[in-house]
Structure 1
Amino acid sequence: MIDYIEVDGENSNLKELKCSNSNSLNSVVYLFNPKDKIYDFFKEEYQLDLENLLYEEEEVIHEISDAKTSKQELMILFILPHQNLKNDLNRKIKALVILKLKKKLIIVTGEKEDFISDFFKNTGESVERSEVNFIQLLNVSIQKVIKDVKEKREEISLLETQIQSLGPSGIIFNEILRLKKYLILLDFIIDSDRKILSFIKREQMENIKEIHMQNEVTLLEERMDTLDALVRAYNKYLSSLDTIINNNSSFQLNNIMKTLTELTVVLTIPTITYGFWGINLKLPFQGVPYGSLLVIVISLLISVLVWYWLKKKKSL
């Protein structure tokens, strides 16, 4: 059985970390909102630049230390996407730092992640070896990302409805751009996190004897494949929305050009008619009272007939 401890770095006086620093018992320590004194503690105790790992690194990291020279056995930096992605891609990655000691697991995130708390509170009593918990935690992390990605499906469906009802607009273009950036970020994260999976399969499988934990590794690989398939499917769907928008825009432009062409043809008829009656030759209606009005009526009548004819034609 393991002891699960949550430490809020913003309010911690390091007492919880120091008390949990003994390897005499199996324990899991989840630290979030770390501050300067926490960073100093990790530099001194584990020779880790925790602040850099959480807020600067954008690639996964896996390191194994010699147990004879260091207290640290394994350090993993796993990356996850921020759910609320704006148009700026700057630092939209959440870091999940996992430090595995002989009988203890330390987990650190910049902000508190409820899925981590829920996982250990719900399963902690049934877990007997903290050294393999990190694989289950990675599994839960990927599962959380898959859930977040599936929620994007509703946003994409709403975009399709807006395109059909309102046509292309700046707001819709911005939403498509935001979703595409989110999928680009996910694609990068999947490629990076697969390195952790390869590392586990290459270096850690020999240390995992339990069949159910080996199954966890297989499940992690399957969930990464599922996430990859979702990202590719949503990318393809967004590309189809681009095609719909382009076709819609072309259709609207064609309608505008058709209307302008019709107006040009209709307005050209009075111009030609008035120009014809303006030449210095003997022409009909020159000696007729209200002859100019008759010319205007004739030109307007021809224009109306031509306009009606153009409207009936399916194409120009």
Structure 2
Amino acid sequence: MGDKGAGNHSEVTGFILAGFRVRPEFHVLLFLLFLLVYGMIILGNMSMMAIIVTDSQLNTPMYFFLGNLSFIDLFYSTVIAPKAMVNFLSEKKTISFAGCATQVFLFSLFIVTEGFVLAAMAYDRFSAICNPLLYSVHMSRRLCTQLVAGSYFCGWVSSIFQVSVTFSVSFCASRVIDHFYCDSYQIEKISCSNLFVNKIVSLSLAAMIILPTIVVIVISYMYIVATVLKIPSTEGRKKAFSTCSSHLGVVCLLYGTVSFVYLTSPSNLELRKVASVFYILVTPMLNPLIYSLRNKDVKQALRKILWNKKALS
């Protein structure tokens, strides 16, 4: 690897993922836990996508966004979980340089895209509740497609910048990343380079990407709450709020855990790792449950599919 002055990223062939600092016998339990949760992620999100695609009654903007959300959840957890499970049962716990860069790129792509899709879903709920008569005009199929495509584009641009600055640094003798996946913050901690540019780029990305999505979500819900409170009947207010509760729950889960990891003091790294598990695995597992359990249309579509299978058997 060379000394501090000579270490260069081109000489690095791989890294070691330290994972959780627990006794070796607990690694099997971690593997089983990750396997169980990841299996539920696959089942839940693929079921949600299948229901949305097969049921014509769910051919609406809200479910178009929800289908994309399930796709994103499935793949960004897939970027992390399988490799983490392999390393739990491996002594070397290594990941190649290319594999690490790919993990950073894809994770950044999907997590940023999810933020924009959630913002698009907030705008969709705003249009449905605040402008119901013009909803079908405002939320056309073309606009929905453009919003999703724009979300992926922003994720793609963010990923390119993130990977470029993360892996343009020189590395010290240590190749140990103190995490269970290639986290850009932990990668920078084993760098010997001046990280001023990295921090500027990270802050700029946060300002240009994360803040706008939060602003759209907050403003949309300010208008939604103001509109719903004007509804005279209690039943009408309850029905309007119920259409937003699932989305709001998903937003709080994702942004709450991400904020805890990246905005709190890094003193307790193990606690931050546990919090990372929540937005990498727990949130993608819970999202389909939140929408299916709190959404009558999804439950009805699921019953219809199950009924048809029983009728055919």
Question: TM-score, with normalisation over the residues of structure 2?
Answer: 0.28
Please state which structure has a larger fraction of its residues in strand.
Answer: 1
Please state which structure has a larger fraction of its residues in helix.
Answer: 2
Q: Which has the larger radius of gyration?
A: 1
